[in-house]
Chain A
Amino acid sequence: MDQHQTITLEVEDKPGVLSRISTLFSRRGYNIESLTVGHTHIPGISRFTIVVTGDEAILEQIRKQSQKLIHVLKTENLDKSQAVMREFAIVKLKYSGEHIPKINELVDLYGARMLDSRNEVLIVEFSGTEEKIEMVFNDLKQFKVLESIRTGKLAMRTGQ
C-alpha cells in the first residue's frame, strides 16, 4: 500500500552523508517529496526529516538500510498522532495599493510575518502544518506570486 511516510534521521555531520541517504531512495525509484536537514543543538549532529510516498514495507526497508549507514545515529518513522510536524515558506508577491487590506487579512489569518517590502514587492513568511501551508498557497493564487519556496516538513516526536 502506498502511503505518505515521514522518516527522521539523526546523523553525524560528515561529507557524503546526504548522498548516502538519498541513494537508498533513488535506487528503488522513489521520489523524495521533501527533505530538510539542519544542525541540532549538539555540535556535529544534524537531523533529516524526509517525506516520501511509497510501499510501507519498502520504506521500512529503506529506514533499516539508512540505520546501517555508519554516520547515521538514529532513525524513526513518525506519524501525526505522535509528532509535531511543521513547514515553513517564504513568498514574494507583487502588489498594488488596492491589495493591501486583503494581504493584511491573510497575514492575520495565518499568523504570517512581513520580511521585506519595496517597490510594490513584498516578501512574507508563513509557518505551520503542511495542510496550513497548502491553504496559504491556495489563497495566494489571487495575487501575483513572483517566487516562493517551501522548506518541506520538519518533524519531532512529542513527549520524551
Chain B
Amino acid sequence: MSDKVQKIQEITGAKALVKLLKTKKVDTIFGYPGGANLPIYEELRKSGINHILSRHEQGAIHMADGYARVKKKPGVCLATSGPGATNLVTGLANAMLDSVPIVALTGQIPSNMIGTDAFQEVDCINITMPVTKHNELVLHAEDLVPAIKSAFHIANSGRKGPVLLDFPKDVLNKKFAHNFQSEINLPGYNPTIKGNVGQIKRAIKTLKKAKQPVVLFGGGIYLSNAINEFLKFIRLAQIPVVRTLMGTGIIAEDDPLYIGMIGTHGNTIANRVVNKEADVVFAIGTRLGDRSIMKTHLFAKNAKIIHLDIDPAEIGKTIPIDIPIVGDIKEVLADVIQRLEEKNLGLETPWKINNNKRTLLSIRDAAPVMQTIFNELSNIDQNIHVSTDVGRHQMWANHYCTNPKHLPLITSGGLGTMGFGLPAAIGAWFADPDTPVVSLSGDGSFMMNMQEFIVAVENQIPLTVIILNDYRLGMIRELQTSFYNGHYTTHNFSEHVSFTKFAEAMGGKGFDVKSTEKIGSTIRKAVQSRVPTIIDFDLENISKSALLSLNSVAS
C-alpha cells in the first residue's frame, strides 16, 4: 500500500462542464461565442463534441429544439452573457410551450461584478425564469456538477422542457476538485408516472358505457414515446380519434378510425364530432390549448371529459375535467390495454362518422396552390424531416403533408414562432444526418432567421427550403379580411426579395417556380441534391398558370 492519498484532481469549471456533457453523451452543441463563455469554447475545442456555429443565438436554440425533437433527447445550446442570453429567450419560450427538452448554457460576467451593470450583463436568471422549466445561476464551483446533472434530468423527464444554466466566467475558470460522483438531490421534483388505478378504472367504465366516444390526442404521444400503445388502445377499443396540430403523423390520414384535426384551422367534421356528437371525449397528451378547443363553453358540451396528461397543472386549466388521470401516457395506456384485454372491452358497434375532409382553411389569395405543393412533396417516397414556420403555410402543411415518412411535422405549435422552421430543420439534420430535411416557410417567416441558411451550406446539409411566397404576411391579410373589414395594413412587402439570388450568394442553389408543371420536378430535384436549395414558389403566378392551363384544356 502506498502512503500517498489519491488526491482528486483540480480542474476548471469549464473543463468539468465539458467532461459532464460527454458523460451525458452530448455529441452536438449549437452555439455562439462571446467574452463570457470563451472558457467553455476553449474546452470544447479539445473535446470531440461537434460545435455548430449559428449566426444568431435564436438560430442556435431553434437548432437545439429541432435536434431534440428528432433525437428524442435534450438538445444543447450555448450563448454568451447579455445579448447572447436575451437572444435565447424566444427559443426558450418556444421549447417551453412545446415541451421540448433543451439544456441551454450561458456564460455570465464574473460573479464579483454581477449587479454592477457591467459590459454585456443582464439578469439572465430572472429574464428566463418564466420561459424555462427550471434555471440556475451556478455561483459556486461545488454546485456545478449537481447543477448540470439536474439540468439534464429535469429537461428530459416528467413534462419535458428547457432548463438554463448561467455560469459566471470566474466559476468556469476556477480550478476546483469537482466531485463527479455527487448525486442529484431534488426532493421537490417527483413527476407522476403511474396513473391512479381508481381513476383508470373509472375512465374505462365511462368509455365502456359511452355510445359515441372520441379520443382527442396531441403531441404528448410523441413526448412519451407512446405511439404503439396509443394505436393498440384505439384499435382494441375501436374508438374514433381526432388530433390537435401537434399530433401529425401518429395515425395515418386514411386510417378508418381517424376523423381529422380540431381547432380554428382544423376539419369541420372533427370539431363537430367533439363539440356536438360525442358523449365521452378522452383527451390524451394535449393541453387543450385555446386554438384547439376554441370556445370553452362549446367544447365537448355534450360529453364527459377524461384527461390523461403527465402535468397535473394541465388538468382543468382551460376546461373542467370529469375524470383526470395524471401520469405518463405510455405507462397509463399500457395499464389500460391490459385491463381492456382482461375484460375484452370493445365498443360493440363502433359509431359511424361521415368522413369528410373539409377544413376551416381560407382558400383566398391562391392558398390552394399550397395544397398542390404539399401533395407533390408528400409523393416523395423516402424519409424526410419536414419543419414548418408559422402562418398560412403551417396550417396547410398540417393538413396536406400526409406522408408518414415525413411526419411528425417539426412545428412551433404553442408559441407560433416565425423564423423557427429553417434552424429547426438544420438541427433535425444533425440529429439524423442520413435523412434529408425540408423547411417549409412563408416569405415573412423565412426572413426572420434567413441568416442560418449559411449553416446548411457550411455543413453541406441536404436541405430544401420551400418558400410559399405571397409577397406578404398572408395570415395577417387573412385576419384583416375576416376581422377588420378588409382594412389591409402593414402586411404587404413592397420590395420583393430574390430568394434564389440570396441562396446563390450564400453558396447554395435557388429555383424560382411560377407555374404548376414545375412544382413536382423542382421539389424532387432539390430533395435529392446534397446542396442546400431554396425554392421560391410564387403562389399568385402559379395559381394563374393553373387557371390558364385549365382554360386551354377547355377550349
Query: Which of B83-91, B309-317, B341-349 has 4 or more CB atoms under 8 Å from chain A?
Result: B309-317
Is the C-beta of A100 less than 8 angstroms from some C-beta in chain B?
no
Min Cβ gap B53→A in Å is 31
Q: How far is the CA of A67 from the CA of B159 in the complex (A)?
A: 13
Q: Quick check: A61 and B317 within 8 Å, CB to CB?
A: yes
Query: Which of B185-193, B268-276, B541-549 has 4 or more CB atoms under 8 Å from chain A?
Result: B185-193
**Within A1-36, which residues are at the interface with B (CB < 8 Å)?**
11-12, 15-16, 19-20, 23, 27
Q: Quick check: B313 and A70 within 8 Å, CB to CB?
A: no
Q: How far is the CA of A68 from the CA of B189 in the complex (A)?
A: 8
**Within B78-133, which residues are at the interface with A (CB < 8 Å)?**
125-126, 129-130, 133
**Given A64-B313, A67-B312, A68-B313, are A19 and B187 neighbors across the interface (CB < 8 Å)?**
no
In the complex, which residues of chain B have a beta carbon less than 8 angstroms from the beta carbon of A69? 134, 188
Is the C-beta of A57 less than 8 angstroms from some C-beta in chain B?
yes
Is the C-beta of B137 less than 8 angstroms from some C-beta in chain A?
yes
In the complex, which residues of chain A have a beta carbon less than 8 angstroms from the beta carbon of B130? 23, 27
Min Cβ gap A39→B in Å is 16
**Given A23-B130, A64-B313, A68-B313, are A11 and B188 neighbors across the interface (CB < 8 Å)?**
yes
Which partner residue on chain B sits nearest A68 by CB separation?
B313
Q: How far is the CA of A56 from the CA of B316 in the complex (A)?
A: 12
Min Cβ gap A153→B in Å is 23
Is the C-beta of A72 less than 8 angstroms from some C-beta in chain B?
yes
0/1 string, A72-83, CB within 8 A of B gives 1: 110000000000
Which partner residue on chain A sits nearest B125 by CB separation?
A16
Q: Quick check: B312 and A64 within 8 Å, CB to CB?
A: yes
Selected from B129, B187, B317, the residue in CB contact (under 8 A) with A16 is B129
**Given A20-B129, A70-B154, are A12 and B187 neighbors across the interface (CB < 8 Å)?**
yes
How many residues of chain A are within 8 Å of chain B by beta carbon? 20
Q: Quick check: A23 and B129 within 8 Å, CB to CB?
A: yes
Is the C-beta of A151 less than 8 angstroms from some C-beta in chain B?
no
Q: How far is the CA of A88 from the CA of B139 in the complex (A)?
A: 36
Q: Quick check: B129 and A19 within 8 Å, CB to CB?
A: yes
0/1 string, B222-262, CB within 8 A of A gives 1: 00000000000000000000000000000000000000000
Is the C-beta of A65 less than 8 angstroms from some C-beta in chain B?
yes
In the complex, which residues of chain A have a beta carbon less than 8 angstroms from the beta carbon of B125? 16
Q: Quick check: B313 and A61 within 8 Å, CB to CB?
A: yes
Q: Chain B CB within 10 Å — which of A27, A67, A71 has the most?
A: A71
Chain B interface residue bracket vs A = 10 to 19
Q: Chain A CB within 10 Å — which of B154, B187, B188 has the most?
A: B188
Q: How far is the CA of A64 from the CA of B316 in the complex (A)?
A: 11
Interface Cβ pair total, 8 Å cutoff: 41
Q: Quick check: B129 and A70 within 8 Å, CB to CB?
A: no
Q: Quick check: B154 and A68 within 8 Å, CB to CB?
A: no
Q: How far is the CA of A35 from the CA of B130 in the complex (A)?
A: 20
Q: How far is the CA of A91 from the CA of B187 in the complex (A)?
A: 40
Q: How far is the CA of A68 from the CA of B158 in the complex (A)?
A: 10
Min Cβ gap A13→B in Å is 12
Min Cβ gap A71→B in Å is 5
Q: How far is the CA of A65 from the CA of B130 in the complex (A)?
A: 11
In the complex, which residues of chain B have a beta carbon less than 8 angstroms from the beta carbon of A15? 137, 139
Q: How far is the CA of A8 from the CA of B541 in the complex (A)?
A: 63
In the complex, which residues of chain B have a beta carbon less than 8 angstroms from the beta carbon of A70? 133-134, 150, 154, 186, 188-189
In the complex, which residues of chain B have a beta carbon less than 8 angstroms from the beta carbon of A60? 316
Which partner residue on chain B sits nearest A64 by CB separation?
B313
Q: Quick check: A73 and B312 within 8 Å, CB to CB?
A: no
Min Cβ gap A24→B in Å is 9
Which partner residue on chain B sits nearest A15 by CB separation?
B137
Q: How far is the CA of A70 from the CA of B186 in the complex (A)?
A: 7
Q: How far is the CA of A8 from the CA of B224 in the complex (A)?
A: 32
Min Cβ gap A121→B in Å is 37
Q: How far is the CA of A70 from the CA of B187 in the complex (A)?
A: 8
Q: How far is the CA of A20 from the CA of B134 in the complex (A)?
A: 10
Q: Quick check: B313 and A65 within 8 Å, CB to CB?
A: yes
Which partner residue on chain B sits nearest A20 by CB separation?
B129
In the complex, which residues of chain B have a beta carbon less than 8 angstroms from the beta carbon of A68? 311-313
Which partner residue on chain A sits nearest B126 by CB separation?
A19
Which partner residue on chain A sits nearest B314 by CB separation?
A64
Which partner residue on chain B sits nearest A60 by CB separation?
B316
Which partner residue on chain A sits nearest B312 by CB separation?
A64
Q: How far is the CA of A65 from the CA of B187 in the complex (A)?
A: 17
Min Cβ gap A2→B in Å is 18
Min Cβ gap B83→A in Å is 22
Q: How far is the CA of A100 from the CA of B270 in the complex (A)?
A: 78
In the complex, which residues of chain A have a beta carbon less than 8 angstroms from the beta carbon of B137? 15-16
Q: How far is the CA of A125 from the CA of B313 in the complex (A)?
A: 41
**Within B183-206, which residues are at the interface with A (CB < 8 Å)?**
186-189
Min Cβ gap B267→A in Å is 30
Q: Chain A CB within 10 Å — which of B126, B313, B317 has the most?
A: B313
Q: Quick check: A71 and B188 within 8 Å, CB to CB?
A: yes
Q: How far is the CA of A11 from the CA of B186 in the complex (A)?
A: 11
Q: How far is the CA of A99 from the CA of B150 in the complex (A)?
A: 61
Q: How far is the CA of A114 from the CA of B316 in the complex (A)?
A: 50
In the complex, which residues of chain A have a beta carbon less than 8 angstroms from the beta carbon of B150? 70
Selected from B133, B154, B187, the residue in CB contact (under 8 A) with A73 is B187
Q: How far is the CA of A11 from the CA of B313 in the complex (A)?
A: 18
Which partner residue on chain B sits nearest A62 by CB separation?
B313
**Within B296-320, which residues are at the interface with A (CB < 8 Å)?**
311-313, 316-317
Min Cβ gap A154→B in Å is 21
Q: How far is the CA of A69 from the CA of B134 in the complex (A)?
A: 7
Q: How far is the CA of A60 from the CA of B154 in the complex (A)?
A: 24
Which of B's residues lie within 8 Å of A, judged by CB?
A: 125-126, 129-130, 133-134, 137, 139, 150, 154, 186-189, 311-313, 316-317
- Apart from A12-B188, A15-B137, A57-B316, list 11 A-B contacts with CB within 8 A: A11-B188, A15-B139, A16-B129, A23-B129, A61-B313, A64-B313, A70-B134, A70-B150, A70-B154, A70-B186, A70-B188
12 A–B pairs (Cβ distance < 8 Å), ordered by A:
A11-B188, A12-B187, A19-B126, A27-B130, A61-B313, A61-B317, A67-B312, A67-B313, A68-B313, A69-B134, A69-B188, A70-B189
